[in-house]
Chains A and B, each alone.
Chain A
């Protein structure tokens, strides 16, 4: 009997993590006082976090600094233990079954490297091949794919300490995938990288997810990462989940506007009035602003299609070019970070 077919690949149930932090007065007196009568206070980093992740999903864990994203990843990877609640990876406790679990998962902590500092990258990778007992032909094949897609060729002979951040990160990502893990955890994999390297890494991770079916769990502050790689988003704030759903649903739920910018061939003095008349049947009434050659129309896409709006405006004005903007999750997440987004969820206890 297979027990695990109906199960989610990753199950978190009421995950709670409390850190005991020393409460220390300042200066020498504080230090001495702490030595003899240490005072601790409990700091709740995660509070009753529950979610399921199915095999093959790509999930982004998003939230302001200190929201508990890294803590959640550490619990899923099994390197820390929850204070209460549980997490299961393919039915196993990742902390108790550390070694079994480590064969199923690949882990990248953007701030740390898993390569040996003084060894050439190729040596580090070979060593990982030995530790994971990867069959040589599969090892060669995976390394070849990674080398091509991440352009590792010139880096393999260099010692890890001599690599730039972006070069090191590409090698680190390859290192985490050598043993063909079924789940890939990435905690801020693009932090501090330039635009080109970010794009390459995103494409690569996305390809692993779509083509190989690798489950991806990613934390990032870069919304481009999230939009390129993930279909689902878990928004966290103060140790609790405030939203969990598809990226599309976030956009629909939180942002019901679409922005079309029309660039005109010539100045049309009464452009705003003419567009208003052309779109008089669109409800709710669109917002029209004109600046120079640009006429910007903001409307609700759930009531009128973009195609209809564009067709009507183009029939009215000499349009040379146009740009349709998707609702950005950026603005939504910024609202969340600022604390101005009200989601009707009880404030978590800190």
Chain B
């Protein structure tokens, strides 16, 4: 068996396609997660539907149509972003297998990012597109506020993916200080989902929690693209919200670099 005739790929492209085929190796579990995600959307939508059915009055700026659109899209966007990079990094640090990554001529964060995109494409994106597409057709979702909003929504999703990746990556790196961060991971994951506006829109939070949410990076993941889609971007406009996302990416990216350097100095590979 030879590989003659196979051209070299740029290394991060190669890592991306590795993430892709790795995820495909577990396509059964991907399919199961599609089913679970699909059901959980339906349940949430149904619960809200019964709440609205009681008096039919809009809640804050959301009428039933807008709320339904928000909930389904929030799930779709959240699903699109989900990645297991936090777990992958934590595990590699804990069992020492990070050595194999570190003996290769590739940037650690970019490697994980390339792999994560490959994985997300299988686990999240395909399901997202199915969910999004079928909901628009069968559940009569509200259309984007304007054609510009549609374009900016997609841009905001991509940037949100970056913010979400950086948060997960940082959580993974934190294992170098907290030898067992399982608990912390779960707490952050749940808190993050709420603060991101995945469960209910941030504008329905009590005042103090809204302040917390707006100050956190989580809102830049799910809430931002949705506000743009629905045209609920009064404070600062869509471009302002996207500017905030870019700022978070720069800030968290710089922090990741710094934390990575500190983590590598502490790294004590167990075993061997």
| Residue ranges of A at the interface with B (Cβ–Cβ < 8 Å) | 19, 70, 73-74, 77-81, 95, 98-100, 102-103, 105, 107, 109, 111-114, 116, 118-119, 122-123, 125-136, 139-140, 143-144, 147, 153, 156-157, 187-188
Are A80 and B267 in contact (CB-based, < 8 A)? Answer: yes
Are B2 and A143 in contact (CB-based, < 8 A)? Answer: yes
Residues of A with C-beta under 8 A to B15:
127, 131
Complex Cα distance, B100 from A128, in Å, reads 11
Q: Which of B68-104 contact A (CB under 8 A)?
A: 96-100, 102-104
Are A77 and B103 in contact (CB-based, < 8 A)? Answer: yes
Residues of A with C-beta under 8 A to B271:
111
Are A130 and B8 in contact (CB-based, < 8 A)? Answer: yes
B22 to chain A: closest residue by CB: A118
Known: A79-B99, A98-B102, A116-B22. A187 touches B272 (CB 8 A): yes
Complex Cα distance, B106 from A128, in Å, reads 11
Are A119 and B18 in contact (CB-based, < 8 A)? Answer: yes
Instruction: Please name 14 further chain A to chain B contacts, defined as beta carbons within 8 Å, in addition to the given A79-B269, A126-B14, A140-B2, sorted by A numbering.
Output: A74-B99, A77-B99, A79-B103, A100-B105, A102-B105, A107-B99, A107-B103, A116-B22, A118-B25, A123-B21, A126-B3, A127-B14, A133-B105, A135-B8
Are A139 and B3 in contact (CB-based, < 8 A)? Answer: yes
Known: A80-B269, A112-B272. A132 touches B105 (CB 8 A): yes
Q: Is B4 an interface residue (CB 8 A)?
A: yes
Q: Is B264 an interface residue (CB 8 A)?
A: yes
Least CB distance from B83 to A in Å reads 17
Least CB distance from B73 to A in Å reads 33
Residues of B with C-beta under 8 A to A127:
14-15, 18
Least CB distance from A141 to B in Å reads 10
Complex Cα distance, B268 from A153, in Å, reads 37
Residues of B with C-beta under 8 A to A102:
102-105
Complex Cα distance, B102 from A102, in Å, reads 8
Residues of B with C-beta under 8 A to A77:
99, 103
Bitwise interface map of B from 9 to 30 toward A, beta carbon under 8 Å scored 1, else 0: 1110111001001100110000
Residues of B with C-beta under 8 A to A80:
267-269
Residues of B with C-beta under 8 A to A109:
99, 272
Complex Cα distance, B4 from A99, in Å, reads 27
Contacts between chains A and B (CB distance < 8 A), count = 108
Known: A112-B100, A131-B15. A122 touches B105 (CB 8 A): no
| Residue ranges of B at the interface with A (Cβ–Cβ < 8 Å) | 1-4, 6-11, 13-15, 18, 21-22, 25-26, 96-100, 102-107, 264-265, 267-269, 271-272
Complex Cα distance, B105 from A100, in Å, reads 7
Known: A105-B103, A112-B96, A122-B3. A129 touches B18 (CB 8 A): no
Complex Cα distance, B108 from A78, in Å, reads 14
Quick one: which of A74, A100, A136 contacts B6, CB cutoff 8 A?
A: A136
Residues of A with C-beta under 8 A to B100:
112-114
Quick one: which of B7, B105, B106, B269 contacts A136, CB cutoff 8 A?
A: B7
Least CB distance from A169 to B in Å reads 14
A187 to chain B: closest residue by CB: B272
Least CB distance from A104 to B in Å reads 10
Complex Cα distance, B18 from A128, in Å, reads 11
Residues of B with C-beta under 8 A to A188:
272
B95 to chain A: closest residue by CB: A112
Complex Cα distance, B103 from A184, in Å, reads 12
Known: A116-B22, A119-B21, A119-B22. A131 touches B104 (CB 8 A): yes
B100 to chain A: closest residue by CB: A114
B111 to chain A: closest residue by CB: A131
Residues of B with C-beta under 8 A to A135:
8
Complex Cα distance, B176 from A80, in Å, reads 13
Question: 19 interchain pairs (CB within 8 A)?
Answer: A74-B269, A74-B272, A79-B99, A79-B269, A102-B104, A102-B105, A114-B100, A118-B25, A119-B18, A123-B21, A127-B14, A130-B10, A131-B105, A131-B106, A132-B104, A133-B105, A139-B3, A140-B3, A144-B2
Complex Cα distance, B2 from A156, in Å, reads 9
Are B272 and A133 in contact (CB-based, < 8 A)? Answer: no
Complex Cα distance, B6 from A38, in Å, reads 55
Name the residue in B8, B21, B26 with the highest tally of chain A Cβ atoms < 10 Å from its Cβ.
B8
Quick one: which of A119, A132, A157, A187 contacts B1, CB cutoff 8 A?
A: A157
Complex Cα distance, B269 from A131, in Å, reads 23
Are B22 and A112 in contact (CB-based, < 8 A)? Answer: no
Residues of B with C-beta under 8 A to A70:
272
Are A81 and B2 in contact (CB-based, < 8 A)? Answer: no
A115 to chain B: closest residue by CB: B100
A156 to chain B: closest residue by CB: B1
Residues of B with C-beta under 8 A to A126:
3, 6, 14
A109 to chain B: closest residue by CB: B272
Least CB distance from B181 to A in Å reads 15
